[in-house]
Chain A
Amino acid sequence: MRAACWTNWRRNSESAVAEAFEAVVVGAGPAGSAAALVLARAGRRVALLERGPFPGSKNMYGGVVYGRILDTLVPRWWDEVPVQRWITRRATMVLTPTQSMTVDFRSETWGAEPYNGCTTLRPDFDAWLAGKAEEAGAELIVATTATGLLRDRGRIAGVRTDRPDGDVRAPVVIACDGVNSFLAKEAGLYHHTEAGHFTLGAKEVLALPRDEIDRRFGLQDDHGADFEILGGTGDVPGGAFLYTNADTISIGVVLRLPDLARSGRRPEDFIAALKAHPAIAPLVDGGQLKEYSAHLIPEGGYDEMPELSTDGMLVAGDAAGLCLAAGIWLEGVNFAIASGAAAGRTASEALSRGDTSVGGLAGYRRRLEDSFVLQDHRKLRRAPRLVLSDRLQHAYPRVVCDLVEELFTVRNPTAKTGGTRTAWRELRKSDLRLRDVARDAWTILRTFG
């Protein structure tokens, strides 16, 4: 990759007027690179700042990219995206300490163009997308941390960086600086940040021979499997995942922060317990640890998002809390790309009008409201609370597994009990109140129906 180095930076800073940027994008993750790509294609002079030594070096995820959002940005993206495997098997697993129930779906359609989802390594994927922005003319400047906002008569007018003479001025800043977004916080766009709206994702990447992965997960060619797991995190609300890369598998847990902190159990212990579960152990057996990683996930959803724009600045991706953690749907990279591209388009239009005030940038929110980005989030606004609730995390997995176990346990000479009667009996055996179950059923119907 042609990353701008120190010399480029000097050249730019020495001829600041001639090469002044019209936009500065902070963070070369999927949101930032999409924003820079759109701006550069519109002929804008755009700087794309990345604090890591290369794009993706600070990023990890949990692990499927749903790529169709790239259709308009990179035609036939599937021919060139650095894919590990195309997901053709999607399993949703419910665990208790001794049981598991899996809804296991496979589709050959997902293994052919235009595909549905793929696994990829973020250093590869993020660097690829940033490369697209560079090809379009964006100036990628790596190893540069944005340390604060520059203001001009109250409005945001660029960013300060940790380079000597490191001010980058531009009429519009697009903050794609991730889940901790210090820029959005400094701009006052977050009214509060509560630990309860964040989860910690901790992951192990384990090496196994490619054909062994194919055999264990029932895969062939470049097809892959993605297991999303509920109930595998003990007393801490969260979830877990297991998915296949080309010659590694990734296994991890997602843990709600305050509960993790109170639990007295460390993150890696949760991964260890998951790997030891009888339904998981045979799949990961003998996998050699290649990399351990961790990252925060903004899980607050629609109701906890920051304001998305202010005078001279837009916020996209994780920085805007645009991560969909809604139980059966777990998506982030696609929301980052879509919001970044929308921010880039809005910024470019605002620059044409010469108005990058909060009014001039108001189209960003409308654009997101008209797209899946905020439509999905609004529709699923009740999901985060529901998914992390005690009943969904603990009581329901137990009831469901006990019910299925009861249905399939043959107790001859005793005759079979009907499904409905068994269900009632299992419900009564649990501590669940019918009123709560009915309310949750209604919420589930309203949210996912």
Chain B
Amino acid sequence: MTDPWPVAFEDRMATVEFDVAPEPHITVDGDLCRGCTTRECVTACPANLFVPTSDGGILFNYEQCFECGTCYLVCNTAGAITWRYPTGGRGVVFRRS
């Protein structure tokens, strides 16, 4: 089934307010990710922040993160994802949820 009212993913994310911190609050160890075949984060991250690259790595963008914690919980590669909360006042700002 497809959405009868499709919204492009960028437009979906454009509905959410982010006060982006200058420093990433999540770091991804590219070397560890290259050995991962299951790529749980790519499927499960609701903000679609993990993008596989052609060389087998993971391209990661912290800027539109919901700060939910899904990525580090589903990750099967110990130490690949380091996760903490963004600096106080920064990050996602829900307004209507």
Contact = CB atoms under 8 A, between A and B. Distances in A.
Interface of A: 51-53, 56-61, 97, 121-123, 142-145, 147, 161-163, 179-180, 182, 193, 195, 198, 200, 202-203, 205, 248, 250, 257-258, 260-268, 271-273, 275-277, 281, 285-287, 289-296
B: contact size bracket: 35 or more
Interface majority SS (helix, strand, loop, mixed), chain A: mixed
Contacts of A180: 69
Interface string B61-80: 00000111110011000000
A289 B1 contact: no
A250 B97 CA distance: 8
Contacts, number: 150
Interface of B: 1-7, 9, 11-13, 15-16, 19, 38, 40-41, 43-44, 46-48, 66-70, 73-74, 84-89, 91-97
Given A53-B89, A57-B94, A292 B13 contact: yes
Contact of B16 (A56, A121, A265, A292): A292
A268 B12 contact: yes
Contacts of A123: 94-97
18 contacts: A51-B89, A58-B91, A121-B96, A144-B88, A145-B86, A145-B88, A182-B84, A198-B73, A200-B46, A258-B40, A261-B38, A262-B43, A266-B44, A268-B12, A272-B1, A275-B4, A287-B5, A294-B70
List 3 tightest A-B contacts by C-beta distance, closest first: A143-B89, A272-B3, A261-B40
Contacts of A52: 89, 91, 93
Contacts of B6: 272
A291 B96 contact: yes
Contacts of A258: 40, 74
B73 A193 contact: yes
Contacts of A267: 44, 46
Given A258-B74, A267-B46, A293-B94, A275 B88 contact: no
A203 B86 CA distance: 22
Given A264-B43, A267-B46, 4 more contacts: A59-B94, A198-B69, A258-B74, A275-B3
Nearest to B72: A180
A179 B6 CA distance: 31
